[in-house]
């Protein structure tokens, strides 16, 4: 079940009782800056569409069954990243259009379980070599990042069935090699 909150307030307090039988929590707000959570969380997925949100309560996301984080269009991602640092065993990570300039280090803790990674529309110019250990990765979306290279091979991602590299400034030779390596059209 999805529980959605839409608010125009700058502060939102969510209580454990607001999330009964909720697997996915979705918060949509152009003005929300502060989020508080009271109680114990059992959500498995958090979706944030809040450009001004500056905090993320660890109590909401730091439990064993949490497996998906989606943050879209947030200008304070560097304030949120420290609260993501304890997350591990995530299956899906979506950090789109959040002004990331480097590859988030918290992803490293989920490399063996990660199935979907979408870090499109950011300013990431390099993907670290340790990312080749994402052996369960099925979908990788890197669109609209100023990547200078993609030094990975097909065998690095055996389960990968979708790779998107739209609007990345690769030269023709680089792009042809990547397409050939990953059987892209």
Q: Which residues contact 98 (CB under 8 A, 6 or more apart)?
A: 71, 72, 73, 74, 75, 77, 122
> What does residue 93 show for φ and ψ, rounded to 5 degrees?
-130, 120
Q: What is the pLDDT of residue 185?
A: 64
Distances in whole angstroms, Cα of residue 183 to Cα of each of 30, 156, 164, 171, 180: 40, 14, 12, 18, 5
Domain ranges, residue 57: 2-181
Q: What is the pLDDT of residue 116?
A: 98
Distances in whole angstroms, Cα of residue 115 to Cα of each of 13, 53, 99, 138, 160: 31, 26, 23, 5, 9
Q: What is the pLDDT of residue 62?
A: 85
Q: What is the pLDDT of residue 38?
A: 95
Closest Cα to residue 48, out of 76, 19, 20, 88? 76
CATH number at residue 157: 3.80.10.10
Instruction: Tell me the pTM.
Output: 0.96
Are 58 and 84 contacting, i.e. CB atoms less than 8 angstroms apart? no
pLDDT along the chain (185 residues), means of 10: 96 96 97 96 97 95 93 96 93 97 95 97 97 96 96 94 96 93 83
Q: What is the total count of domains within the chain? A: 1
Q: What is the pLDDT of residue 63?
A: 87
């Amino acid at each position: 079940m999805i529980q959605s909150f839409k608010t125009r307030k700058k502060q939102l307090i969510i209580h454990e009782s607001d999330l009964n039988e909720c697997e996915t929590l979705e918060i949509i707000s152009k003005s929300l800056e502060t989020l508080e959570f009271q109680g114990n969380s059992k959500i498995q997925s958090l979706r944030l569409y809040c450009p001004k949100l500056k905090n993320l309560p660890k109590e909401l996301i730091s439990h064993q069954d949490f497996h998906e984080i989606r943050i879209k269009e947030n200008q304070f991602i560097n304030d949120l990243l420290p609260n993501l640092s304890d997350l591990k065993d995530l299956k899906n990570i979506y950090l789109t259009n959040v002004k990331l300039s480097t590859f988030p280090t918290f992803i490293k803790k989920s490399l063996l379980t990660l199935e979907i990674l979408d870090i499109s529309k950011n300013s990431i110019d390099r993907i670290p070599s340790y990312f080749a250990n994402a052996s369960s990765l099925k979908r990788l979306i890197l669109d609209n990042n100023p990547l200078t290279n993609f030094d990975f091979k097909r065998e690095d991602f055996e389960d990968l069935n979708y790779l998107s590299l739209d609007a990345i400034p690769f030269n023709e030779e680089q792009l042809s090699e990547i397409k050939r390596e990953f059987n892209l059209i």
